[in-house]
Structure 1
Amino acid sequence: MASKKYLLLAGAVGLLTASTGFAQVQPTGYDALDSSKVSGKRLVQQNNFMNHQSNFPAKPRDMWELGLSGGLHLISGTIPPHPGFGGGISLRKALGHTFSIRAEYIGSIDKGQDYQLRDVPAGAQYAAWDATAAVSQSKGLGYKVVPNYRSQNHQLSLDMIASLSNILFYRAEPKINWYVLAGYSIVAADVDVDALDGNGNGYDYSGINFNAKRSDIRKQLNNLRDKKYESNAPSQGNRISIGRHDNNQLIRHALDVGTGIAFKVTKRFNIGVEEKLTMPFDAYLDGWAGPGGSSKDFYSYTSLRLNFNLGNSSKRVQPLWWINPLEYAYSELSNPRHMKLPTPVLPDADGDGVTDQFDREPNTPAGAPVDSHGVAKDTDGDGVPDYKDKQLITPTYCQPVDADGVGKCPDPECCKNIGPVATCSTLVLPSVSFKGSATKVGRDQEAILASVASTLKANPSCNVLVTGHAGAKGKKGGVDLSSRRVDAVIDYLADKQGIDRGRFIKQNTPGESGTVDLAPAN
């Protein structure tokens, strides 16, 4: 089972290599192998990654984002608001691919106008409405007013933003960034009301038809008022002496929540739309508390945002919320440039060095010499493989052979009627072939010389003539090459097989340069 797994792995690697040869796809957002965009304090981690000592690259330097915003600003409270305007400037920095932090200033002007008479609650904070309430009471309307307000606001925020759309599985670089935010604001609000006419008197509402349509009521009120907003609005809590009127500015802590979406135009510029709610937990942002002061007002800012990426593109990447962190991992799978691929291990059941899928003889005994197809070698072609052959080189005229590969050589015709001859003269010794300019005894030659050694050990009185061939017409370097091959054969028989060096006679002659011939010397 394990061998099949390795085989499948090798096949997958082969297909991967073949496919990447046609298209070398590089990451478009950020290349984790690019150390030029890594800060000095993170180079140690980057070097460990490049040297395969860490699985994680260092976080790159990324650009800051400068944002300009403008849009609809409203106060959601007790008094119906009029559409107001807000504008802001922000600076945002990524903490990672998902989270970023943004500092922002927002300035706004908000107005509101009620359309019905309301009882003036008890409390010193509502003293601004006393003159108008007294006029209403004198007209038989009760101690009532129609509230209005104008609020000039300055807001400083520090928000945490979470990007929800940049981790993509089916595309490389995000074109849209959807995010949510939450954070803290401090708000300075100058809230004023128009409670007196141009002569300093309270407004007379007796001429207003409060049974008319709401839009008509507001038109009548707008015609009545001078819109000077001369009085501080009712409030609770701390004020400071900032603004057009003394002791007028509200300072409030607030919680921010919101969401937005941005559309990439270029790698330097994007356009976004955002909705941000700021909740100071104060009932007097519109100058009028709800019943019992229980309702809490909040700011709503719906803005169009123009965002610009700041920084040197040769040293910094885009803000990380515009980069898909999976892109490098996918590109590395498609086009490996950094990962170390294991060397494929292919199954070889008989251990002969030829994998099973190419082995024509998959059950060769251990240690048996085989050819490139995994078939046991038969050097002399007598039908007995070398690992069984006790006579490794059997001349053709001595075949057929027995089960041990030993042949029976017939007596020469000239000697059939002659008495016994010297043993040495009947020895048949093979030649040793060398390929190219080789001078070392290889595995094939070792098998042949092992047979020669066996013959010499059986005939200790026989000497051997070792003849090398210097090549035709004294080819340059041939004599030296031939001599070295002769020495290699003698060294092997003497050092490896224990044959006495005194039994060898060396000579070099012209002829085929690739062989060393062995013959009885007696």
Structure 2
Amino acid sequence: MINKKYVLLASFAAAIAVQPAFAQESSSTTAKGWSGRDMTYRGYNYDYMDTNYVPKSRMKQQSKFLANQYAFPSKPRNMWEVGVKFGQLNVSGDVPAEMLWRGSWGLGVHVRKSIGYVFSVRADYNYGNAKGLQWQPSQGYVYNSAWNTTYNPGSDKVFYNYRTELHQLNLDLVASTNNIRFHRAKTGISFYGFFGLSGIAYQTWVNTKDASGNSYAQKFEQIYQQYANVTATHQIEYSQRNKVRKDLRDAMDNTYETDAENTQKNRRPGIFGRKTFLLYGSMGLGTQIRLSTHWNVAIEDRLTIPLGGGSDLLDGQRWAEQTPGFPVMTQSTDALNFFSVGLNYNIGRKSRNVEPLYWMNPLDYAYTEINTPRHMMLPDPVLADADGDGIADQLDKCPGTPAGVAVDAHGCPMDTDGDGVPDYMDKQLITPTECQPVDADGVGNCPCNPKCGTLQTCANIPAASISFGNNASNINSAAQSQLAVLAAHMQANPTCKVVVIGNGNGSKVQQQRSWDRVNAIIEYMSEKNGVDRGRFIFQYGQAGDANTVMIRAAAQDEEGPMNVPPPFPNLKK
């Protein structure tokens, strides 16, 4: 059993260590999580859109996620944990265990890998020495070969003792859930539980003789007589027990020269030397305190329980006395308890690996995306447009435009010749500047000729540049206004052609997107504005800003196709 002093000491140390861990988390959250400067581009834990964190085996899922074809990002590549530990090793058996400073110690190393946000697997090796010393005298050791060859079970009293050396290899499944947090980005302390399978190779010795080969029978008798008033009934108070054991230590040396009783069928003379090998089950609880991305300390207690027979001899004793001289075999089996404090390190570069997933909050992606959408598929905003001219009321400088009237980018009716009379009211659509000002019907003050109402010149068709969003080819409201102006000019100049030039030739995707945009403009002009498709010259894949389409009037006698097959149909939007 672990001394209460050490439990209190460990709790006190944990409380002190937690303070800087929580302080560090608080300051980080203030600097990154709450300021918004960092969360604009990434989550608190890592950038879930950064493919540097995704192994090749999971890139297919990540690609679908980035293309909004799958709602979940891939599990990131995460670090391995390695650690060392040291602490108190006890055998829970028939002989009371000694404490750490009396020689009951253990040390260990482990490697741990996360398989998810809750579960991880761990390979753990422990080496230790455990000691025990009985404060009660015994005479029923007639069947115990370690004692009955040196002492007389009928008259000599002995105080059982042992020293056990053991190697323990464990394979554990570890579960940790407190990283899933709803009101904090990260945790500075992790509680976990584990269970697994253990293989133990051990050998036990007892101290029955001094350095000269003589038994301790006389010294044992003297100690017994010294405490005869309380040992007669085997009832010794705690303070008296310590005195008895202190006198026993002073009376004996530290040789442990005699092999303890063992079951020969479990001896493994090969790689384990003469040690006994048995399979055990393990379970335990632990606490980890995060110091940084790579370092943390751990406090853990492991209980190892036997799975089969031959496991009541870890302390070299399997006999219990009912009356002196008549021993019976005990029904209990020996168990191990290892209470340890360790230091752990996470292996891996931060630029390619996140911390082990049991430190990561799986809600980070969802909460960050809700707070600052960066990948979320949001519907187009719906803005009020009372007159239905395609310009939102907030931007419309001419509210109440009659239905079906072409407007400019400000929502005002088109005035092609700039005479102050809107096209839908203008009886002389193109009035030369020298004939202005005009009357209320838009007719100029120059002498009229048969062509004055239909004056045509392709130079009146202004050049334009239409911008598209990244990877988009839809005609937005701003582009619709520009195309309405173009339509008015083309209707006023029915013999003129227009060249639509799509930029972007840096890649197959750019070339196809250039084609998509030119085709979208010509289709819009044909379907929405009634301009014959044959009046357009189709050009794409030109040098220039890949998100821009240029429009100009065709030169005299300039010809070109009105339809062009798509260069890469499989990449069409």
Q: TM class by shorter-chain length? A: 0.5 to 0.7
Give 2:164's aligned residue.
151
d(CA) in 1 for partners of 2:412, 2:151: 115
- When residues 435 and 296 of structure 1 are mapped into structure 2, their CA distance, relative to the original with a 3 A threshold, is farther
Deviations 1:248-289 (A, max 9, x none): 522111111112122222222222211111112532221223
Q: Which residue is equivalent to 2:146?
A: 128
The separation in 2 between residues aligned to 1:29 and 1:375, in whole angstroms, is 50
Native 8 Å contact 1:25 1:331 kept in 2: no
Alignment of 1:308-387 (within 5 A): 308-346=345-383, 353=390
1:114 aligns with 2:114: no
Are the structure 2 counterparts of residues 258 and 392 from structure 1 closer, same or farther at C-alpha, using a change threshold of 3 Å? farther
Partner of 1:263: 289
Deviation, 1:328, is: 2.7
C-alpha contact (below 8 Å) 2:128/2:166 kept by paired residues: yes
Task: Report how far residue 318 of structure 1 moved.
Answer: 2.2
The answer to whether structure 1 residue 215 and structure 2 residue 242 are counterparts is yes
Residues 283, 290 of structure 1: 8 Å contact kept? no
| Contact 2:139-2:155 within 8 A present in 1 as well | no
Aligned length: 408
Shift of 1:108: 0.5
Question: In 2 relative to 1, CA 296–349 (structure 1 residues): closer, same or farther, beyond 3 Å?
Answer: farther
Partners of 1:444 and 1:202 in 2: CA distance: 114
Distance 1:109 1:446 in 2: 93
Q: CA deviation at 1:41?
A: 1.9
Q: For the residues of structure 1 that align with 2:248 and 2:136, how far apart are their CA atoms?
A: 10
Tell whether the 8 Å contact from 1:352 to 1:370 is kept in structure 2 after alignment: yes
- Paired residue for 1:62? 78
Which one-letter code corresponds to 2:217 in the other structure?
A: Y
Q: Does 1:199 align with 2:213?
A: yes
CA contact (8 A) 1:112 1:148 kept: yes
C-alpha distance in structure 2 between counterparts of 1:110 and 1:29, whole Å: 43
State the AA in 2 paired with 1:218: R
Rounded to whole Å, the distance in 2 between the matches of 1:445 and 1:67 is 72
CA distance in 2, matches of 1:307, 1:113: 34
2:568 aligned residue: none
Question: Using a 3 Å threshold, how does the CA distance of structure 1 residues 308 and 285 change in structure 2: closer, same or farther?
Answer: same
What is the CA-CA distance between 1:117 and the residue it aligns to? 2.1
Q: 1:296 maps to which residue?
A: 333
- Displacement, 1:80? 0.8
SS at match of 1:238: helix
Distance 1:446 1:202 in 2: 116
CA contact (8 A) 2:84 2:343 kept: yes
Partner of 2:193: 180
Relative to structure 1, the CA distance from residue 20 to residue 347 in structure 2 (aligned partners, 3 Å threshold; closer, same or farther) is farther
**Post-superposition CA distance 1:142-169 (Å, at most 9, x none):** xx53211110010011111112322222
Does residue 286 (structure 1) correspond to residue 300 (structure 2)? The answer is: no
- Bigger mean CA deviation after superposition, 303-312 or 148-157: 303-312
User: What pairs with 1:477-488 in structure 2 (closer than 5 Å)?
Assistant: none
Give 1:355 shift: 6.3
Structure 1 position 119, deviation (Å): 4.6
Give the match for residue 36 of structure 1.
52
Task: Give how far 1:22 is off.
Answer: 10
Distance change (3 Å), C-alpha of 1:176 and 1:103: same
Q: Deviations over 1:385-443 (max 9, x none)?
A: x99x9x999xxxx99xxxxxxxxxxxxxxxxxxxxxxxx99xxx8999x9985599997
Percent of paired sites with the same residue: 35
Aligned-pair Cα RMSD in Å: 4.9
Counterpart mapping for 1:330-479 below 5 A: 330-346=367-383, 353=390, 438=462
2:130 partner amino acid = D
Structure 1 match to 2:111: 91
AA aligned to 1:189 is Y
Partner Cα separation in structure 1 for residue 268 and residue 462 of structure 2: 102
1:79, distance to aligned residue in structure 2 (A): 1.1
Distance 1:369 1:47, change over 3 A: closer
CA–CA separation in structure 2 for the residues paired with 1:328 and 1:182: 31
Question: Matched residue of 2:351: which SS?
Answer: coil
CA contact (8 A) 1:148 1:193 kept: yes
Structure 1 residues 367 and 148: alpha-carbon distance in aligned structure 2, compared to 1, 3 A threshold: same
Equivalent residue of 1:33, what SS? coil
Paired with 2:50 and 2:486, the residues of 1 have a C-alpha distance of 54
TM-score under structure 2 length normalisation: 0.57
Q: Tell me the amino acid that sits aligned with residue 269 of structure 1.
A: W
Q: Give per-residue Cα distances to partners, 1:169-228, cap 9 Å, x unaligned.
A: 233333222221111110011111123444254624321224272122112322333332
Deviation at 1:326, TM superposition (A): 2.0
Matched letter for residue 288 of structure 2: A
Tell me the residue number matched to 2:301. Answer: 275
- Alpha carbons of structure 1 residues 158 and 445: separation in structure 2 relative to 1, 3 Å: closer
Q: 1:131 to 1:22 in 2, by over 3 A?
A: closer
> 1:97 Cα deviation (Å)?
2.1
Structure 1 residue 92: deviation in Å? 1.2
Alignment partners' CA distance in 2, 1:430 and 1:436: 12
Unaligned runs of 5+ residues in structure 1 are 1-18, 378-385, 400-423, 451-494, 497-522
TM (normalized to structure 1)? 0.62
Report the Cα offset of residue 354 of structure 1: 6.3
Conserved 8 A contact 2:85-2:342 = yes
Q: C-alpha displacement at 1:23, in angstroms?
A: 7.2
CA 1:289 to 1:349, structure 2 compared with 1: closer, same or farther past 3 Å? farther
Secondary structure at the aligned position of 1:145 is classed as coil
Classify the secondary structure of the residue corresponding to 1:321.
helix
SS of residue paired to 2:152: helix
Q: Deviations over 1:428-462 (max 9, x none)?
A: x8999x99855999979999xx9xxxxxxxxxxxx
Q: Given residue 140 of structure 2, which amino acid in structure 1 is its aligned partner? A: V
Which has the higher Rg, Structure 1 or Structure 2? 1
| Matched-pair contact (CA < 8 Å) for 1:203–1:225 | no
